[in-house]
């Protein structure tokens, strides 16, 4: 905006010898709660600078450890003053294979309607329940790149909304509670995502009616391609109808993939416990001892399976039928009956396999 002299504010700052790109110093003086400062201009500015400096320090530390195995540089001196109030000196900068838990401050965010808290933070805090593995967070929020998720989790820990510890490798092998996750806890979709999922469900219904298959672009865009030969790719089909199971086994094997079958929820859990996890799951919705959505809920809440591609098999393809699966983390849908080409193309697409 032009000033009284007719010059823009940026030009006026430059004429006075000031950096035209630097924000004016309007930071509050004295003690303050940094959690109340997250939504402000300076709060966002310093968060960005903290991520830049933390990334630089991490690279510096890696270079030093390779050359002299010297002691790692402590990042606390590089964190701006506005974040030092919340910074934990021993906080890890890596987010992979860690367990996250909401703090009391994080619980307050979930319970409040404070518009100053970014929606990205609310999404992440909303999927953290008790002790939550980083892969579970990734699996439930596949619409965001892993690098961005890493930044946001780091910010949440800096601010004090979450804490994290290294994951216990033994936890990944425990499948005893796989089917115990409450579906209602997974269906609490943030308001800002409800419209997006509804729009995607309508598009899915049209695609299923026209082509017999649909894959969620949100979940597909950030997945890495699977570097396996077709005859090495393992497809697990969960289908209770004997005729449909036989047809699925025939068509998947004709497409060049390895295939295993499970007839119900119990056999699915036994397959996962006793054998190597599959590369992709074709999951019927109506099962004799449960529901495909219950299976999907358990998968997305298990650290070993959270990133497993899951395609639902269904005869119900209306938008209201598809919406629930997308909200729970389904990667796509195939309507019955289907052909070998449909199932083969869908498997290749969901795995990004060429």
If you write DSSP's letter for every residue of 268-328 in order, what string do you get? HHHHHHHSPPPSEEEEESEETTEEHHHHHHHHHTSTTTTT--EEEEES--SHHHHHHHHHH
Q: Which residue has the tokens 């009284």?
A: 4
- The answer for residues whose C-beta is within 8 angstroms of residue 114's C-beta and 6 or more apart is 39
Check the CA dihedral 221-128-116-161 and report its sign. negative
Please measure the distance between the N-terminal and C-terminal CA atoms of the chain and give it in whole angstroms. Answer: 53
Q: Tell me, what's the pLDDT at 137?
A: 96
Kindly indicate the confidence band of residue 115, based on its pLDDT and cuts at 50, 70 and 90: confident
pLDDT digits (tens, 9 = 90+) for 25-62: 444 444 444 444 444 433 444 444 444 444 443 443 44
Helix/strand number for the chain, H first, E second = 15, 11
C-alpha triplet 240, 336, 305: angle, nearest 5°? 60
Instruction: Give the pLDDT of residue 35.
Output: 46
Which superfamily does CATH assign the domain made up of 192-350 to? Response regulator (3.40.50.2300)
Where do the domains of the chain lie? 34-169, 192-350
Question: 136 CB contacts (<8 Å, ≥6 apart)?
Answer: 127, 300, 301, 302, 303, 306
pLDDT of residue 96: 74
Q: Please answer whether residues 215 and 280 qualify as being in contact, where contact means their C-beta atoms are separated by less than 8 angstroms.
A: no
Q: Specify the residue for token string 């579906």.
A: 183
Two structure tokens written together for 8:
């823009």
CA distance 134 to 137: 5
Residue 299 has pLDDT above 50, yes or no: yes
Mean pLDDT computed over 111-123: 88
- What was the pLDDT predicted at 44? 45
Residue with tokens 């540089």: 73
d(CA 302, CA 97): 13
Euclidean distance between CA atoms 217 and 186, whole angstroms = 20
Chain-wide mean pLDDT for the chain? 78
Tokens standing for 334? 């195939």
**What's the confidence (pLDDT) of residue 80?**
36
When computed from its CA atoms, the radius of gyration of the chain, rounded to whole angstroms, is 24
Mean pLDDT of 212-222: 95
- Using DSSP, state whether 289 is helix, strand or coil: coil
Query: Which pLDDT value is given to residue 321?
Result: 85
The H or E element spanning position 127 is helix 119-127
How far is residue 321 CA from its own chain's centroid? 23
Helix, coil or strand: residue 155: helix
């Amino acid at each position: 905006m032009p000033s009284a002299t007719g010059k823009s504010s940026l030009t006026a700052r430059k004429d006075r010898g000031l950096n035209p790109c630097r924000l004016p110093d309007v930071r509050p003086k004295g003690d303050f709660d940094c959690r109340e400062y997250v939504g402000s201009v300076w709060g966002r500015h310093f968060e960005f600078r903290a991520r830049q400096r933390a990334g630089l320090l991490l690279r510096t530390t890696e270079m030093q450890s390779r050359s002299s195995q010297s002691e790692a540089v402590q990042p606390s001196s590089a964190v701006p003053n506005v974040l030092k109030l919340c910074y934990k000196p021993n906080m890890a900068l890596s987010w992979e294979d860690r367990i996250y838990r909401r703090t009391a401050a994080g619980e307050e965010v979930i319970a409040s309607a404070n518009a100053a808290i970014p929606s990205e933070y609310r999404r992440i805090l909303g999927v953290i329940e008790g002790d939550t593995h980083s892969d579970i967070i990734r699996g439930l929020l596949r619409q965001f790149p892993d690098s961005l998720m890493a930044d946001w989790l780091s910010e949440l820990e800096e601010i004090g909304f979450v804490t994290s510890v290294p994951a216990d490798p033994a936890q990944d092998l425990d499948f005893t509670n796989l089917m115990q996750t409450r579906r209602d806890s997974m269906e609490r979709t943030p308001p800002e995502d409800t419209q997006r999922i509804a729009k995607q469900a309508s598009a899915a219904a049209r695609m299923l009616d026209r082509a017999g298959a649909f894959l969620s672009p949100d979940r597909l865009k950030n997945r890495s391609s699977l570097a396996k030969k077709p005859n090495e790719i393992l497809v697990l089909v969960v289908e209770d109808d004997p005729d449909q199971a036989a047809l699925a086994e025939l068509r998947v094997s004709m497409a060049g993939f390895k295939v295993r079958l499970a007839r119900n929820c119990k056999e699915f859990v036994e397959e996962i416990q006793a054998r190597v996890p599959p590369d992709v799951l074709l999951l019927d919705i109506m099962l004799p001892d449960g529901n495909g959505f219950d299976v999907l809920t358990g998968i997305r809440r298990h650290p070993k399976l959270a990133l497993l591609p899951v395609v639902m098999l269904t005869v119900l393809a209306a938008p209201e039928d598809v919406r629930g699966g997308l909200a729970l983390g389904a990667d796509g849908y195939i309507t019955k009956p289907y052909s070998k080409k449909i199932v083969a193309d869908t498997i290749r697409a969901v795995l990004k396999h060429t």
